[in-house]
């Protein structure tokens, strides 16, 4: 075969260019994969946090709806006692007589929540209550307590957060902030 005849195949330069393109593509795909895995783990954590919050609120609803205010001693507000659920000691939580605590121990080990009941500031009588919900030990959250909220329940158990945002209550709060109560002096 004469030297002037060109041999078929790839040159070293062509192979290096192809490998560079392959490395750049693989790096891009790997970067997207890492971001997707991180996003998925955050999403799983957020769902777990939402599950814990919803469970604690449901526990407060059950406690309020099963509480009998007629047994309250005179001078005491007609609200259920505070509930502290510590799920860091799973064995102790599983032995708790409250079935809500036993269920929480199976679903959310390692966290702790507290439900503090108080009279509803805008309600009358025993028909509604405000519940302060505090949760500690949530995954991915460093604050202590990690979640705090105040929720209002009616006797049927339905949250009435929308009631608090009604125009009449907003107007009353704005009048208080301005120093006028809307009543004649």
**Cα–Cα distances in Å, from 29 out to 19, 21, 25, 26, 92?**
15, 12, 6, 5, 47
In a domain, 53, yes or no: yes
In a domain, 95, yes or no: yes
24: confidence class by pLDDT, cuts 50, 70, 90:
very high
pLDDT value at residue 18: 95
Residue 37 has pLDDT above 50, yes or no: yes
In a domain, 104, yes or no: yes
Number of domains present in the structure of the chain: 1
pLDDT value at residue 154: 76
In a domain, 150, yes or no: yes
Give the E-state strand segments of 1-126 in sequence order: 83-86, 112-119
pLDDT value at residue 94: 87
In a domain, 166, yes or no: no
In a domain, 164, yes or no: no
In a domain, 181, yes or no: no
Question: With the CA atoms of 72, 74, 79 and 85 taken in that order, what torsion angle do they form, in degrees rounded to the nearest 10?
Answer: -70
Higher-pLDDT residue of 17 and 96 is: 17
The pLDDT tens digits of the residues spanning 111-167 come to 888 899 888 777 656 677 888 888 887 666 655 566 778 888 776 544 444 444 444
Residue-number span of the structural domain to which 91 is assigned: 37-156
In a domain, 175, yes or no: no
């Amino acid at each position: 075969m004469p030297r002037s005849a060109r041999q078929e195949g790839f040159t070293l330069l062509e192979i290096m260019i192809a490998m560079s393109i392959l490395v750049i593509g693989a790096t891009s795909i790997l970067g997207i994969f890492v971001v997707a895995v991180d996003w998925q783990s955050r999403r799983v954590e957020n769902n777990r946090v939402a599950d814990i919050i919803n469970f604690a609120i449901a526990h407060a609803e059950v406690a309020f709806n099963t509480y009998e205010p007629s047994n309250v001693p005179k001078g005491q507000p007609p609200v259920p006692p505070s509930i502290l659920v510590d799920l860091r000691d799973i064995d102790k939580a599983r032995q708790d007589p409250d079935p809500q605590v036993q269920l929480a121990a199976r679903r959310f080990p390692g966290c702790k929540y507290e439900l503090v009941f108080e009279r509803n500031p805008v309600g009358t009588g025993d028909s509604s209550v405000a519940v302060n919900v505090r949760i500690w030990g949530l995954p991915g959250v460093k604050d202590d307590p990690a979640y705090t909220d105040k929720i209002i329940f009616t006797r049927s158990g339905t949250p009435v957060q929308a009631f608090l945002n009604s125009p009449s209550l907003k107007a009353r709060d704005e009048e208080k902030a301005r120093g006028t109560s809307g009543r004649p002096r």
